[in-house]
Amino acid sequence: MNKIKFLPKFWFSLGSAGCLFLLSMGAYFQFGQGLEPCPLCISQRIAIFLTGLVFLTAAVHNPTGIIVKRYAIVGALTALGGASISIRHIWIQNLPPDQVPECKPALEYMLQNFPLMDTLKLMLSGTGDCAKVDWTMLGFSMPVWTLVAFLMLATLSVSQIWNDDLSN
């Protein structure tokens, strides 16, 4: 029986398309539904963009051998970095109200008036704005679904290590 072979280019393209879909959904919720993203939401979008960029670069490069493995590791690392931001966001959303961090100025204000490192620290640690749950699906908030997406992207990326071995 012949096994079905999918080249890494196909899987990296699929991952890139998934990232584009996630970014499109973020834009829809922000501009179509009027949900203002918090600093952790923006950080997750950046991680989705970086993961998609790795996947797109890999798909265009169409690597083989050890290079596939390198793209797979970098893609998994960016996705897992995004997953860690999602976990932080979920944690903040589940804090008791008296333990929620205080709200900070808007990101645009921070970028204009704060040192860059302070702004980045706030973007990755979260603020009181991040505790607000504006949207749910099947009882899960947006950061939970984003975490699921990041884990799927990391799995897709790591699976290319073994997929490449099978396709040779």
How far is residue 121's CA from residue 19's CA, in Å, rounded to a whole number? 24
Least confident segment among 22-36, 42-56, 86-100: 86-100
Residue 5 confidence class, pLDDT cut points 50, 70, 90:
low
Stretch 108-135: mean pLDDT, rounded? 78
Instruction: Please write the tens of the pLDDT for every residue from 96-116.
Output: 877 777 767 777 777 788 888
Which has the higher per-residue pLDDT, 69 or 110? 69
Q: Give the model's pLDDT for residue 122.
A: 74
Q: Does the pLDDT of residue 4 top 60, yes or no?
A: no
Is residue 149 within 8 A of residue 15, CB to CB? The reply is: no
Stretch 15-43: mean pLDDT, rounded? 93
Q: Nearest to residue 78, comparing CAs of 99, 100, 111, 49? A: 49
Q: Does the pLDDT of residue 34 top 80, yes or no?
A: yes
Q: Give the model's pLDDT for residue 50.
A: 97
Q: Does the pLDDT of residue 165 top 70, yes or no?
A: no
Q: Does the pLDDT of residue 45 top 70, yes or no?
A: yes
Domains of the chain, by residue range, sit at: 8-167
How far is residue 157's CA from residue 122's CA, in Å, rounded to a whole number? 29
Tell me: domain 8-167, CATH 1.20.1550.10, correct? Answer: yes
Long-range contacts of 52-55 (CB under 8 A, 24+ apart): 52/15, 52/16, 52/18, 52/19, 52/20, 52/22, 52/23, 54/78, 54/157, 55/12, 55/13, 55/15, 55/16, 55/19, 55/153, 55/157
Which has the higher per-residue pLDDT, 136 or 38? 38
Q: Give the model's pLDDT for residue 121.
A: 79
